[in-house]
Structure formats: structure tokens, C-alpha cells
Structure 1
């Protein structure tokens, strides 16, 4: 992750200090990430990539669009999580994608970040295993296997696994927040 961030920062001729200023993080945060001494939270990584601007899927998958195909093996899903959370994106490099489908895994104690997430679009998902605490606006609900959610993504939201077992979710959002094909929208 560190070398990829350094490569993208240098390609845009930004110093660590300038990128930190644009992203609203400390200079030492950028330095530690680039040295692979720390893994940023998903929300921190999003802020940094928004400052470049680079989509999360481009950051992890590279810039090459893939020819469309209909089936994806588990090994072909693109990991866009933060090293603690696992978010595996289906068809990450497919150009002109109109939605994002994500296989999410939250280990016990995992959190999408203290800073609530907000972005354009809608999202929904179904809990496959475990439990997740989902905050949307002022509402907080704990969801378990078979429970689902659907909301306007412009509302502040946060995912937390307060349980003792891994939570698995299959989610979708539209428009694709982990974008390819030149659209630089993000969701984490």
C-alpha cells in the first residue's frame, strides 16, 4: 500500500506535506503509510485518495480496464479494504459499471471509522453471517443473519462489529461508488 501511495503522490508532483494538507491528515500519517509502518482506516484512506483524486478501486486494482466477462472467481475480486476490514469488489476494472457489488468481512471489533461516511447514491446489503451495528443518521440498529438494509448514502453512516464473531455482508450501491472508467467516486 505504501509504495502505491508514494507512486501516485509523486506522479502528481505532490510532497507528503502538500498531500497531507489537502487530505486533512498529518504529514506523519502520509509518511508512516508510505513506509508501510501503519495501515490507515478506510475513512482515512478515502480522505487521502480523494485529495489525489484516485478511486479506491483504481488504487488497489491499477488503472487497466478489464474486458467485460460474466463470472468472477473468488480470487478475481479486488480487495479494497484496509487490512483489517475486507471489502472485495466484483468487476472492479469493468468499464462503465453502473453499480458496485461488495463482499464485506468485518472481524470482531472492526469499524468503518469514527468519521461517518457520506457519498452520493443508494446502498443496500444483506448480512450473511455474524452481527453488525449500522448507524444511519441518528438511527442505530444491530443486524444479524438474513437482516438487510437500504438507505440514501448521503446520510452519514457507519458499520461496526461489536460481536465476537466475523460478520459477512454482501452489499451493492449505485451509482458505483468504487468507480472505474474515469468516474472518481468513492465509498468506504
Structure 2
């Protein structure tokens, strides 16, 4: 796999909302230096790259360890969803790194009879979902209802809640949670 230093620097700069000119001023280098690095028309020495990165500030290790390009991804093929749990309940997340993000979107598949457990879940934020296929029993506090394809739910997540697949077919749900809960 080729390492694209220019794309990584550009993504980091855009993530911080900086123009090339603003980054150059912060780092004490010319605007042309930033432009040349981002276009991969020059390969900066370690000292020069460190000087540019001090404009954020971020260390060399973090710059090379983190993938800043994925933070701007907009479209995801179904194969690109991040598997975060597998078993009787499969959770596949849209996006890989949710650091600093306010919303988590999941594609959930419940095998027949799958259950999030007798111990009710509870966390800060809000949660919503739409049943795409099958039947899902949703319990929130003392309220309980079996939802089918096209039905939806929305509640404050601090209220104890539980999900259970009903019937003999897989249940598929698309959910959103804010802030990301796992």
C-alpha cells in the first residue's frame, strides 16, 4: 500500500478548517511549501514536516499513525461498513473512526430469538431506528411494543431499554444513536 503524504496532510488541514495560506503562516513556511507537499511534488525532510505539523499542532507519530483521509468519506459500499459486533446480533457501523462525531449509524441484524439481554441497556443520548425486515420487540422502561417492517422507534437512551427479535426470520434494523455509544 502506498503512503500518500500529500493527501494525508490535505485531509488533516481540511479537518482543522485551515487554508493552505493559514497553515503556512502558523507553521512559519511558505504557502508554496504546503502546496508542493499536498501535491506530492516534494518530499519534505523530517524536520521540515515536523515544522509544518507544529502548525496544527500534531506530532509526527500521530500524523503517521492516524488515517485522516477516512474522516471525509461520504459514501460507503455495504462491504465497507465496520463490523463492531458479530454473533446472534450483528452490528455494522457506517464509518470507521467516530472520534469527535455526534452521530452513530448502525445496520443491525438479529438472528431469530436474538436478545440484547435481560439487563436493560442505558446510556446518555438519543436513539432511533427503523425496522427494515422482520419483527423486533422494543422495550423502553415499562413500554413494550412489537414493531414490523416500516415501523420505527425514537427515545432518550438514558431510559432503560432492550431489543428482542420475534419470529422465525432474521430481523434487520437501521439505527442512529447520538452520541455514539459503542
* Match of residue 101, structure 2, among 58, 81, 97: 97
Matched, 1:69 2:73: yes
Aligned residue in 2 for 1:157: 161
Matched, 1:119 2:123: yes
Q: SS of 1:125's equivalent?
A: strand
* Contact map agreement 2:120 2:162 (CA 8 A) in 1: yes
* Match of residue 177, structure 1, among 162, 178, 181: 181
Task: Please give the TM-score of this superposition, normalised by the length of structure 1.
Answer: 0.58
After TM superposition, the structure 1 stretch with the greater mean CA deviation from structure 2, 125-134 or 79-88, is: 79-88
After TM superposition, the structure 1 stretch with the greater mean CA deviation from structure 2, 116-125 or 89-98, is: 89-98
User: Alpha carbon RMSD of aligned pairs, Å?
Assistant: 1.6
Q: SS of 1:67's equivalent?
A: helix
Aligned residue in 1 for 2:82: 78
Q: Which has the higher strand share?
A: 2
Q: How many residues align?
A: 116
Unaligned runs of 5+ in 2: 1-64
Please give the per-residue CA displacement for 1:62-98, whole angstroms capped at 9, x wherever unaligned. x955432111111111112242211101013144221
Q: Distance in 2 between matches of 1:162 and 1:137?
A: 19
Task: Please give the TM-score of this superposition, normalised by the length of structure 2.
Answer: 0.60
* Match of residue 135, structure 2, among 112, 131, 134: 131
Unaligned runs of 5+ in 1: 1-62, 179-188
* Contact map agreement 2:98 2:180 (CA 8 A) in 1: no
* Contact map agreement 1:100 1:174 (CA 8 A) in 2: yes
Deviation at 1:154, TM superposition (A): 0.4
Aligned residue in 1 for 2:145: 141
Q: SS of 2:79's equivalent?
A: helix
